Copies of this chain bind each other. A is one copy, B any other.
Amino acid sequence: MGIPERKQKEKERRRQQILVAAKRVFSEKGFTKATIEEIAKSAELSSGTLYLYFRNKEELWVSLSLRVLQYLLMRLEHIDDGLEPPEKLRALKEVLYDVYEFDPSVAINMFHLQSSDILKNLSPEMLSEITGLTRQALDKISGIFQEGIREGSFVDRHPVALTDIVWGMFSGVVLWENSKNLLNRERDYLRPTLELAFELLERGVRKGS
């Protein structure tokens, strides 16, 4: 403790303050229509200040996703190694849903990222941060399938393909349910739909079931 640490803390607090505001504005307006000015106002700071903490709008956006990816990775690493693969699959479902709930708007952000304009206009550094974390996370998931195949409880299919399906299905269902909610404000069926998706997936991937 002492002044330098306090400064450090203060700085980190500001960063968070900005990220919170950015999240709010980005999920309201989308990346393009969101303005730095508005994010700054929402963070009760001036627009110039944002540039002391983030190099540009892009980095601000990506930082939001990074937090989610970090959380995802952390959670994946904490899946109990002792579980059977099918149990791990169920744990995975919980992890993914938790990741979504951890911060729904940012999760959607992140999937948008994979699928939008922005990816095409991202600086290499930002890109590699994203892809690095993503790769690690997917490797973890892939590991579950490898294990399941090896020890015979899962059908013998390429683990990377299986991983892509899990990830695609998860992000696709999240985005699609989100779109539906945007278009016609009905109830939100995300949770039961994901539940069912994993039920089907498990039955589909289990051997001799």
Q: Is A120 in contact with chain B by the CB < 8 A criterion? A: yes
Stretch of A8-16, A76-84, A172-180 contacting B (4+ beta carbons < 8 Å): A172-180
- Majority secondary structure, A binding face: helix
> What's the nearest-Cβ distance from chain B to residue A83, in Å?
21
Q: Which residue of B lies closest to A130 (CB)?
A: B183
Query: How many monomers of this chain does the complex have?
Result: 4
For residue A74, CB closer than 8 A to chain B, the reply is no
Q: How far is the CA of A171 from the CA of B180 in the complex (A)?
A: 14
Most buried by B among A112, A115, A192, A203: A115
Closest to A120 in B: B30
Looking at A169, A180, A205, which has the most chain B CB atoms within 10 Å of its CB? A169
Stretch from A42-50, A65-73, A96-104, A157-165 at the B interface: A157-165
A 17-69 contacts with B by CB, 8 A? 29-33
Q: Determine whether the beta carbon of A204 is less than 8 Å from that of B193.
A: no
Contacts of A173 in B (CB 8 A): 164-165, 168-169, 172
A contact residues, range: 35 or more
Contacts of A183 in B (CB 8 A): 119, 127, 131
Query: Within 8 Å CB of A172, what residues of B?
Result: 167-173, 175-176
* Interchain CB contact (< 8 A) of A200 among B174, B189, B204: B204
* A117:B177 contact, CB within 8 angstroms: no
- Residue ID in chain B nearest A175 by CB atoms: B115
The contact of A196 among B108, B116, B161, by CB within 8 Å, is B161
In the complex, A146→B152 CA distance in Å? Answer: 34
B168 touches A176 (CB 8 A): yes
Q: Does A199 belong to the interface (CB within 8 Å)?
A: yes
Partner of A30, one of B117, B182, B200: B117
| Residue pair B169, A197 in contact (C-beta under 8 Å) | yes
User: In the complex the two chains form, is A29's CB within 8 Å of B120's CB?
Assistant: yes
